[in-house]
Structure 1
Amino acid sequence: MGRIYFNCNSMFQLCTCMNKQLHNLSSRQLIVLVTVFILLGILVFLSIDIFVFSYDKDVQDLHISRPLATVPSKIDFGPNVHFGIVIDCGSSGSRVYIYFWPPHSGNPSDLLNIQQLMDPTGKPVVKKISPGLDTFEKNPGAASDYINPLLKYAASHIPSAHHADTQLFILATAGMRMIPQESQKEIFDDLKKDIPKSFPIFGGVYAWIAVNYVLQKFGHGEEEHPLVWVESLKNEGSSERPHMRRRTVGMLDMGGGSFQIAFEVTGKDSSIPKHRIAEFNLGCQNNDLDHTYKVYVTTFLGFGANEAEERYGEMLVNKASISIQKEHEKLVKINKSEAIHPFHHHRKVMIKDPCLPEDLSYEIKKGYVLEGAGNYSACQHSLSPLLNRSRLCEQDPCSMNGVHQPEIIFRNSEFYGFSEFWYTMQDVFRIGGLYGSKRFEEEAKRFCSTNWMTLQSWYEQKLFPQADEKRFRQQCFKASWITTVLHEGLKFPKSYHSLRSVQYIQNKEVQWTLGALLHRTRYLPLRDMEKTSQQQKKHTWTLRRTILHNEYLIILCFIIVITAITLYVKRLKLCPKADLSRVPSMSYFMTEEGQNESGIRYGNSYQYP
């Protein structure tokens, strides 16, 4: 077996030398020496601690003093620029201001680089109207009409490609605070209700965001949701590989004045016009692929149920007027002087309307009376021209009114219908929820063929408590209009069974304002993230300082122990000049009882042969 040897002679000689030096020191000198060692250790500890604190402070000062983003010398309205409209509603009048800013850098120390929009002459784009918004205290329903000129002015100065995500802020000051809170609420409720109908640029994709947020389509939990592969958008630093996430739902909203459709485009379709696509990020990080969406969103002004009914009535009157004019010209040609315009004799023109219940008639315009015919199929046919599909298509394929619409993968999609989709299906037909074209047509045909007297009796008996008399009169038209838009305009197949009409989602009324709030507050998590990061950083430094404290305490204790041993050695004089007593050998302990160890003993020592 191999053996390991080491020589202790040098170490023994060093210790002997140190002991001799310490032996020559007095007790007072040793105390001074120990005190110097202790003070030296404390000094080293404080030096390191001050260095750590100074380093931490320098890092914080560097973080705070970082300069903000500078204003670019040249304005570039690229695809990533955002616009915001602020309306200042004062006591004497209201002013509109327009601002724009590039995307946020993602750095928590940087603010948004917001600039006011200037006209070509370098003057701010501002418009003022009078009087103040508070003057509508007695007539809150007119508040939106009052604001409309400012909104039209602002919309004319914002590129159409940016209309979808333009943010609107209406801020009221002292004048509004002087009127009762109930009147304030009524005025703002009117603005929130009517502005998106007349100016859909401010609603944009916010309604789509709100719907999918409530349905938890933006989450990443373990709940079961249909998934879809999404092609990555070309963002700086992002991967080009497709990734999988929860499939979002599309949205159809048929209001009174306009109709809106919005759905996510998951593939790379570069043929879609820029002003038809809204690309946005709901995450707080610039390259958050899981929360970056590309949504096709289009609003058809004049395609809402009430506006469409007005256009339909005008179309019937124009057709009748043209027909009468042709008849008049024909009579003139055959030289019948008695042939004059019928209105000269105060005659009324009767127009058959298949969209009105049978036996119902009313004067739509002076001299023109609509007579109900009550025919659902004929009503659908007569509404087809209102889709304006003959208009030149901006880019194939188009849905209606010449508007491009990308392909919808119906087998892998889901849509939610709001407003008129719900009211028409539920208030009278009582089939709200999952849409089925066959059942809907059966209910519509039955209702349209019912005469007006019967419908009036149903209303008087309150068989349909959610429907008023106006709803009974318009029900046949609205039922025909939404199916015409859905199947003929948007080209939804009649076999499609993934459209759901709703008023509430999870017992919540979904408003576009929720989507606006989600989009506008997407950077707020950065504050909490920064606060958490600072707390973790502080905890890390505290832990390091604690470790340093422990190490210094160990060193200090070690010095004290060494010093104590040295003093003890000095006191006991472990290196005396006299010889030490010799220790008995093993033979002493192995001697049998009654025998003495062989050897000679002198006093307290033994001498061995």
Structure 2
Amino acid sequence: RYLARAEELMATDTEDSSLNYGVVVDCGSSGSRVFVYFWPPHNGNPHDLLDIRQMRDRSSRPVVKKIKPGISVTAAAPEQATPYLRPLLRFAAAHVPARKHKETPLYILCTAGMRLLPERQQAAILEDLVTNVPLEFDFLFSKSHAEVISGKQEGVYSWIGINFVLGRFDHEDEEDTVITVALGDQGKPLVRKRTVGILDMGGASLQIAYEVPDSGAISSPQQEEAAKSLLAEFNLGCDVQHTGHMYRVYVNTFLGFGGNFARQRYEEHVLNQTYVHNRLHNQQTGLSPEMPFLDPCLPVGLEDTVVRGGQTLYMRGRGDWQACAKLLQPLLAGSNGSHASLVETYKAPIDFSNSEFYGFSEFFYCTEDVLRLGGQYSAPTFVSAAQEYCSQRWEVLTQRFRGGLYSAHADQHRLKYQCFKSAWMYQVLHEGFQFPLDYPSLRTAQLVYDREVQWTLGAILYKTRFLPLRDLRQESIRQAHASWLRLSFVYNHYLFFACILVVVLAIVLYLLRLRRIHRRQLRSAPHTLLWLDKVVVPLGPGSVP
């Protein structure tokens, strides 16, 4: 397994004619990227998935290319969709061997940027791609290969990609922890390797995805209705009759709960609360730099200004992490109905005694960039480090930053809002998702086995899940043909020996018959001589007696 991971970092051997290829275009909101994948022939085991890997060029760099802006810029002129993607498709075509183009599937999958467009404009862009891309490129591409995917699909694909790279779909490896999965009406419970859940906090949104092994986790009609849109059930195996790769995954995306957006919501909340407080108590808090609002979520002494709708609030940090966390708790309930409640939204039960999670993006940056605690998460250690950071004066923090004590990825923005984001991450994790404070199985990470895992890997795994059937059928035909040849060979040998035996028997019977004839002739020979002795020869005329 570890050797396979090392091989994934090597250049792809494009001279190997047995390799198959696939291309996925991720049309995002700010830009589009193309990823090229490859895989060897399926191993013939119907319980195993394709061994899909990201293609690497001759310099062992991942074959990926990005362009900006997003494809939504073609909304007003959908006929420009194909020219927009042309640089990406040409890039992919240059890396996939030409002899493989016609059998290489191409998937164009659009995410958040396209979801914001009216359906009519979405359809026009996709129609242009379906019509014109095949005119320029020989990839295996049809109408079903171009689509706008939902946030739920994107979350499922991310979950598939992470678990595939971690080897959690390899059920024959018995080293790891297992779980019991209830299959409902489809058969008896299945015991297999435990998968991991994922937590991903970006700037604007928060996403969670994890497997729900127990089909009886829904306890009320209200939960059942909510679960219809939040639970995804799918079979990753190539044969729908095999339940070994049946998965039930809870996926939910919370808009407005990302780190940066949460800060904006917090500032609006503080501004409104402060203005109300000033009116009720006839005070001037936050209306001037001389009387600032003392923000517990900013480092000590740091000054900041919030401007909303013509109102200005002057803030100065007081670095009280505990007070900050308490002040953030109401934000978990959303705001004015414009954002879903992290507390009230249906969440499938998590067995915290037998589960494992990975935290990405802000979960990693928040623990690693400044606090240097990335990796295995410990709530007490994290809280202690966050409190220590928040309590420091701004001048001390900037001096540490210039001295190189923080991660190379840390910047002034990170230093400024680290106190807030650490408190927000803590509240989301332990108050929103109800993770126990002593939960031991959360890892924050940016890379998995030294590489970034994209949701596009999960997408092509899912899209190509039936391809092994082709290899399995070919293998069955080869085995049947080989079996027929073996049977034919054995049958011909038996027939040959049988023919020889018949000929030998015929010769033996013939010789025996000749022998009997010969003996009969020998026995009749004396009688013939006696008969000849008694023969009287008549005398002719003139004969003398």
Q: Scaled by the length of structure 2, what TM-score is found?
A: 0.65
- 1:291 aligned partner: 245
Deviation string, structure 1 residues 84-137 (Cα, Å, up to 9, x no partner): x99999xxxxxxxxxxxxxxxxxxxxxxxxxxxxxxxxxxxxx96426355699
- 2:152 aligned partner: 201
1:374 to 298, 319, 324: 319
Partners in 2 of 1:369 and 1:209 — Cα distance? Answer: 46
- 2:395 aligned partner: 453
Partners in 2 of 1:172 and 1:457 — Cα distance? Answer: 58
Considering only aligned residues, what root-mean-square deviation do their CA atoms show, in Å?
A: 4.1
- 1:411 aligned partner: 353
- 2:231 aligned partner: 277
Describe the SS at the equivalent of 2:184: coil
Partners in 1 of 2:346 and 2:111 — Cα distance? Answer: 33
Describe the SS at the equivalent of 1:225: coil
- 2:12 aligned partner: none
How many angstroms does 1:387 deviate by? 0.5
- 2:261 aligned partner: 307
Within a 5 Å distance, the mapping from 1:385-464 to structure 2 comes to 385-388=330-333, 400=342, 402-464=344-406
- 1:483 aligned partner: 426
1:509 aligns with 2:452: yes
* 8 Å CA contact 1:87, 1:171 repeated in 2: no
- 1:215 aligned partner: 166
Partners in 1 of 2:306 and 2:524 — Cα distance? Answer: 135
Query: Could you say if the C-alpha distance between residues 413 and 568 of structure 1 is closer, same or farther in structure 2, counting changes exceeding 3 Å?
Result: same
1:360 aligns with 2:313: no
Within a 5 Å distance, the mapping from 1:91-130 to structure 2 comes to 129-130=76-77
Residue type at the aligned position of 2:171: H
- 2:113 aligned partner: 148
1:578 aligns with 2:543: no
Residue type at the aligned position of 1:579: R
Q: Which has the larger radius of gyration?
A: 1
Query: Could you say if the C-alpha distance between residues 526 and 174 of structure 1 is closer, same or farther in structure 2, counting changes exceeding 3 Å?
Result: closer
Within a 5 Å distance, the mapping from 1:126-275 to structure 2 comes to 129-130=76-77, 132-133=80-81, 148-149=113-114, 152-153=117-118, 200-234=151-185, 238-239=186-187, 241-267=188-214, 268-271=216-219, 272=223, 273-275=227-229
Partners in 1 of 2:523 and 2:134 — Cα distance? Answer: 109
Partners in 2 of 1:357 and 1:529 — Cα distance? Answer: 62
1:550 aligns with 2:493: yes
Partners in 2 of 1:383 and 1:484 — Cα distance? Answer: 7
Partners in 1 of 2:120 and 2:426 — Cα distance? Answer: 32
Deviation string, structure 1 residues 359-400 (Cα, Å, up to 9, x no partner): 2122221533222221111111111111017999xxxxx972
Describe the SS at the equivalent of 1:201: helix
* 8 Å CA contact 1:400, 1:490 repeated in 2: yes
* 8 Å CA contact 1:87, 1:170 repeated in 2: no
Residue type at the aligned position of 1:243: L
How many angstroms does 1:304 deviate by? 0.8
Describe the SS at the equivalent of 1:411: coil
- 1:535 aligned partner: 478
Query: Could you say if the C-alpha distance between residues 155 and 269 of structure 1 is closer, same or farther in structure 2, counting changes exceeding 3 Å?
Result: farther
Query: Could you say if the C-alpha distance between residues 87 and 254 of structure 1 is closer, same or farther in structure 2, counting changes exceeding 3 Å?
Result: closer
Partners in 2 of 1:255 and 1:513 — Cα distance? Answer: 18
How many angstroms does 1:146 deviate by? 11
* 8 Å CA contact 2:378, 2:440 repeated in 1: yes
Residue type at the aligned position of 1:277: L
1:526 aligns with 2:473: no
How many angstroms does 1:486 deviate by? 0.8
- 2:4 aligned partner: none
* 8 Å CA contact 1:390, 1:402 repeated in 2: no
Partners in 2 of 1:147 and 1:175 — Cα distance? Answer: 25
Residue type at the aligned position of 1:484: Q
Residue type at the aligned position of 2:262: A
Partners in 2 of 1:438 and 1:567 — Cα distance? Answer: 103
Residue type at the aligned position of 2:357: F
Partners in 1 of 2:200 and 2:292 — Cα distance? Answer: 34
- 1:99 aligned partner: none
Query: Could you say if the C-alpha distance between residues 434 and 249 of structure 1 is closer, same or farther in structure 2, counting changes exceeding 3 Å?
Result: same
Describe the SS at the equivalent of 1:289: coil
How many angstroms does 1:527 deviate by? 0.9
* 8 Å CA contact 2:26, 2:456 repeated in 1: no
How many angstroms does 1:477 deviate by? 0.8
Query: Could you say if the C-alpha distance between residues 541 and 453 of structure 1 is closer, same or farther in structure 2, counting changes exceeding 3 Å?
Result: same
- State the aligned residue count: 406
How many angstroms does 1:577 deviate by? 0.7
Residue type at the aligned position of 1:424: C
Residue type at the aligned position of 1:530: R
- Structure 2, unaligned runs of 5 or more: 1-23, 29-73, 88-108, 138-147, 526-545
- 2:270 aligned partner: 316
* 8 Å CA contact 1:284, 1:525 repeated in 2: yes
Residue type at the aligned position of 2:523: D
How many angstroms does 1:402 deviate by? 2.9
Partners in 2 of 1:155 and 1:434 — Cα distance? Answer: 47
* 8 Å CA contact 1:88, 1:171 repeated in 2: no
Q: Scaled by the length of structure 1, what TM-score is found?
A: 0.59
Describe the SS at the equivalent of 1:300: strand
How many angstroms does 1:418 deviate by? 1.1
- Structure 1, unaligned runs of 5 or more: 1-84, 90-126, 139-143, 159-166, 179-194, 332-338, 393-397, 582-609
Describe the SS at the equivalent of 1:538: helix
Deviation string, structure 1 residues 413-459 (Cα, Å, up to 9, x no partner): 22111111111111111111111111111111111111111111122
Query: Could you say if the C-alpha distance between residues 270 and 363 of structure 1 is closer, same or farther in structure 2, counting changes exceeding 3 Å?
Result: closer
Residue type at the aligned position of 2:242: D
Residue type at the aligned position of 1:278: A
Partners in 2 of 1:88 and 1:457 — Cα distance? Answer: 41
* 8 Å CA contact 2:295, 2:318 repeated in 1: yes
Within a 5 Å distance, the mapping from 1:31-70 to structure 2 comes to none
Partners in 2 of 1:172 and 1:321 — Cα distance? Answer: 57
Partners in 2 of 1:535 and 1:262 — Cα distance? Answer: 41
Residue type at the aligned position of 2:326: H
Describe the SS at the equivalent of 1:475: helix
- 1:55 aligned partner: none
Partners in 2 of 1:429 and 1:531 — Cα distance? Answer: 55
Describe the SS at the equivalent of 1:410: coil
Residue type at the aligned position of 2:411: D
* 8 Å CA contact 2:75, 2:121 repeated in 1: no
Partners in 1 of 2:427 and 2:131 — Cα distance? Answer: 42
Partners in 2 of 1:419 and 1:254 — Cα distance? Answer: 6
